[in-house]
Amino acid sequence: MGDDPCVGETRRGRPTMNDVAAAAGVALKTVSRVVNSEPGVNAATANRVQAAIERLGYRRNDSARILRRGRTASIGLVIEDVADAFYSSLSRAVEDAALHHGYLLFTGSSREDAARERDLVLAFCARRVDGLIIVPAGSDHGYLAPEFEAGIKAVFADRPPGAGCEADTVLCDNAGGGRTGTAHLIAHGHRRIAFLGDSPGIFTAAERLRGYRQALAAAGLPYDEGLVVMAPPDPARMRADLARLLTASDPPTALLAGNGRTTVETLRALASLTGAADAGAAGGLALVGFDDFELADLLGITVVAQDPARLGRTAADLLFMRLSGDEEPTSRIELATRLVPRGSGERPPLPLRDRTAG
């Protein structure tokens, strides 16, 4: 009479185990056993249940399951921005690990906003994720205290947690990378090296600057504030800064770019300033970038390479160790960086008079 071809009750919404049980003529618990492949169900019964499951299109409700069992088999990942290649590589590594362990993954980008980091983390906690991997934007992680109390595991990646927050941490050796990159330029004869970093509040930016200063000091070179820019990589601002640097009375002969974004924007700025088609050699400046990027090989850009996938993998490994009961003291791992010479960082200083030739 109705227009529903199904046999029996027309239920709106999803069938439950109860519906399946009724359809198969067994008890609820038996369905549960079949769904979870628990032993102790007669093959014939199991088949009947299985048939009912397929006929009704039954799908277990994991919210109920989670509520009952207390574990969610999911983890949360908070990064700075998925659209950034560094973080998307990291994401992918975490995703792989999660999949491998049978976990589902919540993802969110903080956009370098501490409040947003906190909201995301707490939302994940409300969903009762078993663990968290956090690239922190903020420096106060007091809000995590009740979560730790409740047994949640967290691993910090790329940047350490705020003071007073004890948790596993995986970092790159940012200061070491800054030293290496700077020392490389010094070894090629440069004495005036500009550092184009990100906001000084960002841990990695500050560390890399520290490494830069260490290398200068080790070589007996003075630290000149006029050669350092620490600000978010805005294209227009960077072009202006570079123009100012290059037309100064004692301009730099080499640049160290503080991260992937600044490297790329530096290349753009150089290209637009010098009009050179081959930005890699623009202005005869030597250039070392921090963080490798796609096509750096073709552009011949020397970089201090990090390994975001390894960072993600390591963080995930630590987390899953914790989730499987590991109670060791928290560890802090620093991953080495690797200098990849490709030409732009091996150019000797160009005497001032040759500059305009481009």
Q: Which partner in DNA, its own copies, none is near 123 (CB below 5 to 8 A by kind)?
A: its own copies
26-55 binders of its own copies (CB under 8 A): none
How far apart CA 269 and CA 265 sit, in angstroms, is 6
Q: Residue 144: how many CA atoms within 13 Å on its side-chain side?
A: 28
Nearer to DNA by Cβ, of 74 and 253: the residue is: 74
- Dihedral sign, CA of 282, 177, 314, 156? negative
Residue 132 CB, nearest approach to DNA (Å) = 19
Q: Pick from DNA, its own copies, none: which does 83 bind, CB < 5 to 8 A by kind?
A: its own copies
Partner touching 17 among its own copies, DNA, none, CB below 5 to 8 Å by kind: DNA
Q: Cα 186 to the chain's mean position, in Å?
A: 31
Query: What are 271's two structure tokens?
Result: 């290209």
Least distance CB 298 / its own copies (angstroms): 5
Shorter beta-carbon distance to its own copies: residue 16 or 139: 16
- Tokens, residue 257: 């770019």
Structure tokens at 130: 């078993």
Nearest alpha-carbon partner for 218 in 246, 180, 245, 168 = 180
Tell me which DSSP letter residue 171 carries.
Answer: E
Query: Of these, 1, 44, 126, 163, which contacts its own copies (CB under 8 A)?
Result: 126
Which position among 128, 191, 239, 355 is part of the footprint of its own copies (CB under 8 A)?
128
Interface with its own copies includes 14 (CB under 8 A)? yes
Retrieve residue 15's tokens. Answer: 């069938």
Does 105 bind its own copies (CB under 8 A)? Our answer is yes
Q: Which is nearer to DNA, 72 or 263 (CB)?
A: 72
- Provide the minimum distance between the beta carbon of 30 and its own copies in the complex, in angstroms, as a whole number: 20
Which residue from 20, 21, 52, 125 is in contact with its own copies, where contact means CB under 8 A?
A: 125
Out of its own copies, DNA, none, which partner does residue 92 contact, by CB within 5 to 8 A per kind?
Answer: its own copies
- Among its own copies, DNA, none, the one that 199 touches (CB under a kind-dependent 5 to 8 A) is none
Place of tokens 């481009």: 358
At what angle are helices 174-187 and 203-218 packed, to 10 degrees? 40
Closest to its own copies by CB, 226 vs 300, is 300
Query: CB of 334 within 8 A of CB of 177?
Result: no
> How many CA atoms within 13 Å lie on the side-chain side of 55?
17
In one letter, which amino acid is 324? Answer: S
Indicate which of its own copies, DNA, none lies near residue 146 (CB less than 5 to 8 Å, by partner kind): its own copies
Residue the block writes with tokens 């047994």: 151
Task: Look up residue 336 and give its amino acid.
Answer: A
State the residues that interact with its own copies by CB under 8 A.
13-14, 56-64, 66-67, 70, 72, 74, 81-85, 88-89, 91-92, 95, 99, 104-109, 122-128, 145-147, 149-151, 264, 267-268, 271, 277-279, 293-295, 297-300, 309
